[in-house]
Chain A
Amino acid sequence: MRAKIFFSLSLFFCIFFILLFEQSFLGAMGVHFLKQFPLFLFVFLLNIFIDFKNAFIFSFLAGIMLDFFSGLVFGSFCLIFSIISCVIYWLKKYFSKNSPFSFIVIFLISFGIFKLLPYVFSCLTPYLEKFKNLF
């Protein structure tokens, strides 16, 4: 139980520091091409290596925290990361786990969806026009 709590807290702090790194540190350095990428990578690895239930919770948490930092439409990142978590779970079912090729394919597909989702949301309703600014 203790190990589980320790593991959860570690993940939580990892998310927090990645967020600070990409929002404040990289932002101050003027690096924009990696926008939201480190957190996505972290969420992707979580979803690949731990079970769906926990990965989903941490993805959700990561999304919520990014919502706090980004100051855009609240809940948008939360929704996107949750969907990404589900997508990875679904992809994992259809591709072999041990093949490096499948790892790359899952990464590419999930990253593509991650980049595509804001545009999809913005097309769905005019209110979500702000989604275009997320990435």
Chain B
Amino acid sequence: MKKRAQIFFIILIFVIFLSVSRFFSHSLVNQFHQIFSPIEKQFYEAGQRSKTFFSQFFGVFHISKIKKENELLKQENIFLLQKLNELREVKKENDFLKSALAFAKEKNFNILSAQIVSYRANQDVILIDKGKEDNLIKGMPVVTVNNVVVGKIKEVFDNFSEVVLITNNNFSFDVKIQLNDTEQTVALAKGEGNKNLTFDLAPKEKEIPIESLVFTSVLGGSFPPGLLVGKITQVQKNDAQPFQKGVIKPYFPDFLQERVIIITKF
């Protein structure tokens, strides 16, 4: 009878202990780990070192497995390189579109971006991948993202368009030449083919310095005003002629990348 009472008493204490311990176990466990964590850490580090050692030691017996894994990793590496390249292309396009958006916002234009498909050097014509289906029409100006004039849409197909560059033989448009900080003069830019551009009909009395910047003019209405065309590299002034003419170095070949912007409304 006494023994039974003892067992009952032990069980009772046990149950009470477990019930009560639930309330302070959290702080108790915390204290315990605070005291013993340095030793636990040592054991953990030893375990990590042993793991490395054993994996190296037993690795010798798994050469075929390692070989197979190596092959898989090589394939995965090639796949990832391809993905990386794709991402680079996407980033490039994204950067371009961001700049294009900033350009349109600044100038208050409606724009459309297009990719250059080919370049016909002998005609100074480029082919872009947007056409009638994208609501393009003849005469729309084409620029680079840096506000540099490229040309105008000459022919529109369903999915493609031909853009005649400003340096084309038959191309002419009004420009203004920035003489200094305050003064400007007007002229007529003419394409000479093979990426050459000249200007004519500039008033004789104006002194045009070399390196002057040339912008599109509101006159003529071919292009929105203020777009960069190029810079003056040569000026020919003749007393017998009523106007002066010269050579413009167009900027667009330097800035022409894979994509261009079509200004659909200005």
Contacts and interface: CB of A to CB of B under 8 A. Distances in A.
Contact of A25 (B25, B29, B33, B43): B43
Interface stretch (B45-53, B116-124, B198-206): B45-53
Question: Is chain B's binding surface mostly helix, strand, loop or mixed?
Answer: helix
A20 interface: yes
How many of chain B's residues touch chain A, expressed as a range? 20 to 34
B32 interface: yes
A30 B44 CA distance: 11
Contact of B43 (A21, A71, A78, A82): A21
Interface in A17-76: 20-21, 23-30, 67-68, 71, 74-75
B21 A24 contact: no
B50 A25 contact: yes
A134 interface: no
A28 B48 CA distance: 5
Contacts of A27: 44, 47
A78 B41 CA distance: 24
Given A29-B54, A68-B28, A24 B44 contact: yes
Given A23-B40, A25-B50, A28-B45, A68 B22 contact: no
Contacts of B60: none
B51 A29 contact: yes
B14 interface: yes
B1 interface: no
B240 interface: no
Nearest to A68: B32
A20 B47 CA distance: 11
Contacts of B18: 75, 78-79
A26 to B, nearest CB: 7
Contacts of A79: 14, 18
Nearest to A78: B18
Interface in B4-23: 14, 17-18, 21-22
B14 A26 contact: no
A28 B29 contact: no
A81 B47 CA distance: 26
Contacts of B45: 28
B63 interface: no
A28 B44 contact: yes
Nearest to A76: B18
Interface of A: 20-21, 23-30, 67-68, 71, 74-75, 78-79, 82
3 nearest interchain CB pairs?
A28-B47, A74-B25, A24-B43
10 contacts: A24-B40, A24-B41, A25-B46, A26-B47, A28-B46, A28-B51, A75-B22, A78-B18, A79-B14, A79-B18
Given A24-B40, A71-B29, A74-B22, 20 more contacts: A20-B39, A20-B40, A24-B43, A25-B46, A25-B47, A26-B47, A27-B44, A27-B47, A28-B51, A29-B48, A29-B51, A30-B51, A68-B29, A68-B33, A74-B28, A74-B29, A75-B17, A75-B21, A75-B22, A79-B18
